[in-house]
Amino acid sequence: MSDLLTLAYEATTPTPWRALPTKWDGREVEWGGFSTFAFQTTLRLHARTECCERCGTLDPPTMAQGSMYALPGQPVDVWATTRSGKPYLRARTVDEGERVRMLGRLTASRCTRCGLDTVIDRDGDMWTLDESDYGPEGSFRHG
């Protein structure tokens, strides 16, 4: 009986809130709030498959969108790849003083049971975050 109570308690205890990475590949990211219902787009389907890869829950994740900014004073080239795999310069942005242009959007998906975060970038690449991604330097493309 006590085991059942413990299980029930664990299942209903909210995962401690944790801030998403403040940087992405060195660039500042501003995240919006988490919401379970705000993103009824295909992004959600891409961001999560059938269940959480860590705890296996089928509960829908909570999601947040982030805006990525250039570092002040730095020109930024945004590269993309054609369908045939050829890289091309998609955009070049330059900081104009006070204003820093948005480079791209990120969508974070957080498991409501175990707190596992995954992030999908504008190119559709998905990243599962680990401990190193929450440090002061944020998340870097590695491994």
Stretch that binds Zn ion, among 7-15, 24-32, 33-41, 48-56 (CB under 5 A): 48-56
Q: Does 48 bind Zn ion (CB under 5 A)?
A: no
Question: Per-residue x/- mask for Zn ion, residues 27 to 46, rule CB under 5 A?
Answer: --------------------
The CA distance from 37 to 21, in Å, is 22
Stretch that binds Zn ion, among 54-62, 63-71, 76-84, 124-132 (CB under 5 A): 54-62
Q: Does 52 bind Zn ion (CB under 5 A)?
A: yes
CB of 87 closer than 8 Å to CB of 117:
no
The CA distance from 70 to 4, in Å, is 51
Dihedral class, residue 12 (left if φ above 0, else alpha if ψ from -120 to 50, else beta): alpha
Q: How far is the CB of 57 from Zn ion (least distance, A)?
A: 5
Q: Which residue has the tokens 């401990």?
A: 131
Sites of contact with Zn ion (CB under 5 A):
52, 54-55, 111, 113-114, 116
